[in-house]
Amino acid sequence: MARQSTHQTKPNAEKSPRRDPTAAGQRDAAVNRIASHIYFLLEKFEAGIALTGTEVKSIRAGEVNLKDAYGLIKDDELWLLNCHIGAYEHGNIYNHAPLRTRKLLVHKEEIRKLIGKTQQKGLTLIPTRMYFKNGRVKVELALAKGKQLWDKRETERRRTADKEAREAVARSRRK
């Protein structure tokens, strides 16, 4: 005969409003900061990414490096190569390979547009950031053109000139 429970249970408690900012989509999981120094970023677009469970957990932990990664279109599919997602700390024998090639999920029309653009001389696809959106991992890809050495110097000169101008304005306001 089954015993009846005499203790009261609390109604389902609400989840903590304080979530991990990366998982909540408030902070990027990874950013490729060097991309804007090496490339002219012409056009940006968003793509989903096909991942395994341990990869998602590693991304939440911040174990992602986009520095050497790039996108490639092969057989009318978009792939992400050289993106390093570190092994999950608590993973077992089913842990993922850190540098495996991952499929990016975009519409066929976008792939057709990108095929035309990437076949132009000097244009490539570079991931600029990885983030969570509605619980799913997204990658921001940029259509990029490589900078020459003199372009990099010019960008640095412009940046320092802007910084000096801002400092001069701030100094004049303090006086």
117: its two tokens = 């653009």
Share of the chain above pLDDT 90, in %: 24
Domain presence at residue 44: yes
Domain presence at residue 36: yes
- Looking at this protein, which amino acid is placed at residue 26? Q
Instruction: Report in angstroms the alpha-carbon separations of 88 from 80, 91, 109, 126.
Output: 19, 5, 35, 25
Share of the chain above pLDDT 70, in %: 85
166 pLDDT tier (thresholds 50, 70, 90): very high
Domain presence at residue 94: yes
Domain of 86, in residue numbers: 30-147
Average pLDDT, the chain: 83
> Cα 132 vs. chain centroid, distance in angstroms?
9
Question: How many Cβ atoms from other residues are within 10 Å of residue 84's Cβ?
Answer: 16
Task: Tell me: pLDDT of 1 over 60.
Answer: no
Domain presence at residue 166: no
* pLDDT tens-digit readout, 68-93: 898 989 998 999 999 998 888 887 87
Tally of structural domains, the chain: 1
Domain presence at residue 153: no
Backbone φ/ψ region at 25: left (φ over 0), alpha (ψ -120 to 50), beta: left
Are 39 and 71 in contact by the 8 Å Cβ rule? The answer is: no
Tokens 């395994």 locate to 52
Domain presence at residue 165: no
Q: CATH number for the domain including 108?
A: 2.40.280.10
Residue 12: the pLDDT is 56
Residue 13: the pLDDT is 52
Instruction: For residues 47-62, give the mean pLDDT.
Output: 88
Domain presence at residue 139: yes
Domain presence at residue 50: yes
25 pLDDT tier (thresholds 50, 70, 90): low
Give the C-alpha separation, 172 to 39, whole Å: 35
121 pLDDT tier (thresholds 50, 70, 90): confident
Instruction: For residues 107-123, give the mean pLDDT.
Output: 86
Residue 141: the pLDDT is 92
